[in-house]
Structure 1
Amino acid sequence: MSATKIIIIISGIIIGISAVVLGIYGNPPNMGVCVACFIRDSAGSMGLHNTETVQYLRPEIFGFILGSFGAAVIFKEFQSKAGSAPVIRFTLGFLMMAGCLVFLGCPLRMILRIGAGDLNAVVGLFGLVAGIGIGSLFIKKGFSLPRNYQQSAAEGLILPAVCLVLFVLFIIDSSIFKSSVKGPGAAHAPVWMAITAGLIIGVIIQRTRFCFIGMAKNIFLSRNYTMAIGVLALLLVVIAGNMLTGKINIGFDNQPIAHNDGLWNFLSMSLVGLCGVFITGCPLRQLANAGQGNTDAAVSVLGMLTGAAFAHNFSYASSPAGVT
């Protein structure tokens, strides 16, 4: 087995362990790590929406971005680039978040849900693969967003700097941010654990280019299964963790923070996969790219943040009761 595959497997194992541990120590069920959910909660904590059950400034988000930033600087891969169809990227980020919040989870949470026996997430997986397949056909036919261009270093430093300032403010006085007293927003791991896990995952994503949408895209376009081995390792770790903690519940009904509307689970994740192909990565990958200076990815992240606010302000985000 090649060194690259071994590194990808180890990366999947570490991400899986991080997700399981965060779930054990306070994050919501099957939501040890969920980029879409964390962005949604963070949007609420900053007053961008008023759904009281999903408001908490998630330290993991800052960890993903700052971990990637630190790794990029250390390994001399920090490059400020921008200018590739920013409005389109913002819109695709917005739509990707809409899909995630109808499904109730990003591609990573989808894997965590599958690892706990949630068969609704398997339906979502089929939808994700279908969306990636459609997007890959567009790529094969020659579609791509315009190239980006080198920018000043200051351009790429803005988002990491904003994240650092927000995290410091959160540590100094968390009361300035809204925080749920019930619901998913009220369930969270200790801050030190959350930021540590976020930093570790951010470094891993930056160094390995680990990506759930990239995994399927690589299979469709180049028959490269390397990333899939890492995702499989992550899934196996999650299954083992859930078995050890007695959290396996196989079925469609009574799954935590999930609904069983199969059609919308499929369609919403199809949208996530399609958008992810065009902007080159899942929500987690967008955060890591933004951390290493790619301001096109930062624009997509802003689109996701706005999409999360819209989903709750206009009440089209799903809930365990179903699709609205």
Structure 2
Amino acid sequence: MKNKKGIILAGIIIGILAVALVKLGNPVNMGICVACFIRDTAGALGLHRAEVVQYIRPEVIGMVLGAFILAITKKEFNVRGGSSPFIRFILGFFVMIGALMFLGCPLRMMLRIAGGDLNAVVGLVGFIVGILVGVYFLNNGFTLKRSYKLTKLEGTMFPIVNVILLSLLLCAPAFILFSKEGPGSLHAPIWLALSAGLIIGALAQRTRLCTVGGIRDVVLFKDWYLLSGFVAIIVTVLIGNLFLGSFKLGFEAQAIAHTDGMWNFLGMVLVGYASVLLGGCPLRQLILAGEGNIDSVITIIGLAVGAAFVHNFGLASSAKGTTFNGRVAVIIGIVVIVGISIINSDLKLSFKKKGDVKVDIN
């Protein structure tokens, strides 16, 4: 699946699965949302106590295992890590801050657009702006340094953790928390959701599908390969929603969404910006983790901790709107990531002291 036809077909299949998962029980416009699903899983494990978003999502487990199985099969399982791990953790943390301000990851943003949610169009504009800022720093030498080869055992631990999560979902011991109402209580049957995740993980592994990478590659290389998969998902879900009568155009009364345009925009600026620096969106991080990339595992841990932080400290948006704490966190996130960008790039800030002596700060 190295040509454009392959990624378009993958996008169509993923779009169909997203529509089917909603029909089978997932929340509206949330057939697939990596950020939301990681947040729900963190809640099920007790990392936060927001009772309406607690459920171990088998789709995420399937994506990791699907990528892992195919990477092993195709001899593409390559265990590596050590590329600025704590910075990656911080970037993942702030990706989640931005996503839960907007109420969705880039993939859910696409599904919301395809469902007629115009708030997501505002988010898309912010997402593109964030990517463009990130690309500016990439063009000025931004790097998180090289990664190093690690043992195969290191790479297999994350897939094993996901198998353990699946067993906890199936066994449902008392210490695992499950929502009785709200988005966390809405889900497709376990085995169907897991199967969908396995298919999505395998397709994303073969095509290198990435919502951030699509826009980044058009800007940097005039390469439309990844973006064609992005568009295929939106068009497929749009057709599915029109066929099922679930398309609803407008800003108001959209499912699990708010109408605060500024913060929809800024939330996705943060997501797009941080994801470019990380080298991929949350979906791409799951696939890379399945392929043995330990740096992506660290990023996913950052996403999970970010989700817990958001709900434990009252940062999360809701259908009622944004929160003051959440708005402050988004601004802090943008400032922190600008700092990381400058320090890890070749960009030089210069100013003049008395006597016109120019001073450069690398």
Superposition deviation, residue 233 in structure 1: 1.2
Amino acid of the structure 1 residue aligned with 2:204:
I
C-alpha separation in 2, matches of 1:292 and 1:33:
20
Counterpart mapping for 1:1-324 below 5 A: 4-173=3-172, 175-324=174-323
2:328 maps to none
Aligned length in residues: 323
C-alpha separation in 2, matches of 1:222 and 1:175:
51
Alignment partner of 1:318: what SS? coil
Q: Which moved more, 1:225-234 or 1:42-51?
A: 225-234
Alignment partner of 1:10: what SS? helix
Superposition deviation, residue 173 in structure 1: 3.2
Superposition deviation, residue 174 in structure 1: 5.4
Amino acid of the structure 2 residue aligned with 1:191:
I
Amino acid of the structure 2 residue aligned with 1:31:
M
Superposition deviation, residue 172 in structure 1: 2.8
Q: Which moved more, 1:83-92 or 1:163-172?
A: 163-172
In structure 1, the gaps of 5 or more residues are: none
Q: Deviations over 1:84-104 (max 9, x none)?
A: 000000000000011000000
C-alpha separation in 1, matches of 2:268 and 2:229:
21
Alignment partner of 2:168: what SS? helix
Amino acid of the structure 2 residue aligned with 1:147:
R
Superposition deviation, residue 226 in structure 1: 1.4
Amino acid of the structure 1 residue aligned with 2:158:
L
Asked if the contact 2:45/2:176 (under 8 Å) is kept, the reply is yes
C-alpha separation in 2, matches of 1:240 and 1:300:
34
Q: Which moved more, 1:229-238 or 1:281-290?
A: 229-238
Asked if the contact 2:56/2:165 (under 8 Å) is kept, the reply is no
C-alpha separation in 1, matches of 2:122 and 2:178:
32
Amino acid of the structure 1 residue aligned with 2:236:
V
Superposition deviation, residue 232 in structure 1: 1.2
Asked if the contact 2:216/2:276 (under 8 Å) is kept, the reply is yes
C-alpha separation in 2, matches of 1:25 and 1:194:
9
Equivalent pairs: percent with the same residue? 51
Q: Deviations over 1:247-302 (max 9, x none)?
A: 11111110000001000000010000011001111001001100110000000000
C-alpha separation in 2, matches of 1:28 and 1:177:
21
Alignment partner of 2:43: what SS? helix
Superposition deviation, residue 155 in structure 1: 1.0
Amino acid of the structure 2 residue aligned with 1:158:
M
C-alpha separation in 2, matches of 1:264 and 1:169:
36
C-alpha separation in 1, matches of 2:49 and 2:168:
21
Amino acid of the structure 2 residue aligned with 1:46:
L
Amino acid of the structure 2 residue aligned with 1:38:
F
Alignment partner of 1:161: what SS? helix
Superposition deviation, residue 169 in structure 1: 2.7
TM-score, normalised by the number of residues in structure 1 = 0.98
C-alpha separation in 2, matches of 1:130 and 1:233:
22
Q: Deviations over 1:101-131 (max 9, x none)?
A: 0000000000000001100000000000000
C-alpha separation in 1, matches of 2:260 and 2:275:
23
Q: Deviations over 1:161-181 (max 9, x none)?
A: 111112123223355421111
C-alpha separation in 1, matches of 2:69 and 2:193:
17
C-alpha separation in 1, matches of 2:299 and 2:102:
19
Larger Rg: 2
Superposition deviation, residue 61 in structure 1: 0.9
Shift of the 211–248 alpha-carbon distance from structure 1 to 2, 3 Å rule, reads same
Query: What value does the CA root-mean-square deviation take over the aligned residues?
Result: 1.0
TM-score, normalised by the number of residues in structure 2 = 0.88
Amino acid of the structure 1 residue aligned with 2:120:
A
Amino acid of the structure 1 residue aligned with 2:299:
S
C-alpha separation in 2, matches of 1:51 and 1:103:
18
Asked if the contact 2:168/2:176 (under 8 Å) is kept, the reply is no
Alignment partner of 1:51: what SS? coil
Amino acid of the structure 1 residue aligned with 2:138:
I
Give structure 1 regions of 4+ aligned residues with deviation exceeding 6 angstroms: none
